[in-house]
Amino acid sequence: MADRTFEDLAKLPISVRRVCAGEGVLTSAAEVYCQPRERSLDVDACEGCADYAGLMLELDGRRKYVLCRRLNAETARALQPSIPPIARRLPVDNPSPGDRTPVAQIMTTDVICVREDLSLTALATLLLERNLSGVPVVDLAGRPIGVISKTDLLRRDGAPGCVAEVMTPMSFVLHPEASVSQAAALMAFEGAHRLPVVSDDGKVVGLVSSLDLMRWLGRLDGYLTRA
């Protein structure tokens, strides 16, 4: 494979999924979605591949990428599936900044998730310690099956139990290439405050919240916000 320039290498985002299960044991996995293999891989496996060209850290330190020689940047974009429309939309003359910005640019890529068997006591501790208002519930493979929030916990009023008894089953997810406008429309129409973002093989690779959307809007209008 001929050497490519840095600009031409595909930049594949690394996501970190931290999953809390049972009585609160936290495990983590750093993964990248490999388009040629059509599945998510541990970054360690990627590092052993002949097409691995290194890691890249964004200037603000929030995101990490695998640089891949197998795909060039253009092919990587073209391979993304088209996003079905979320709600009927009136025709617009020009795409807005929200149409042109993928949720991959604003989502959290270090995501805390929980499993169904996590006790509600351990969940309450996790939410308080990490200052979270809700988290996705994932299966063993890291695919989302529900969401659970502080409000769900409050409804239980301290009664013992586990996440499976309280969570809301998963209805909506986004692809990293979905636009910020689509994320906003989905949240507004469905009353969802946070949506899991999934790779082509259905694993959680990010989380986008209504707060992420507001921060993006504030920055777009020139207001500087804390990272």
Chain contacts with ligand SF4 (rule: CB under 6 A): 12, 32, 34, 36-37, 41, 46, 49, 51-52, 66, 68, 70
Choose between 48 and 222: whose C-beta lies nearer to ligand SF4. 48
Phi, psi of 74 (to 5 degrees): -70, -45
Choose between 50 and 90: whose C-beta lies nearer to ligand SF4. 50
CB of 120 within 8 A of CB of 161?
A: yes
Report the nearest approach of ligand SF4 to the CB of residue 32 (Å): 6
Report the nearest approach of ligand SF4 to the CB of residue 72 (Å): 11
Report the nearest approach of ligand SF4 to the CB of residue 33 (Å): 8
Choose between 31 and 152: whose C-beta lies nearer to ligand SF4. 31
Q: Tokens in use for 107?
A: 């989502």
Choose between 45 and 185: whose C-beta lies nearer to ligand SF4. 45
Report the nearest approach of ligand SF4 to the CB of residue 82 (Å): 22
How distant, in Å, are the alpha carbons of 58, 129, 162 from that of 225? 17, 23, 37
Report the nearest approach of ligand SF4 to the CB of residue 145 (Å): 26
Choose between 1 and 90: whose C-beta lies nearer to ligand SF4. 1
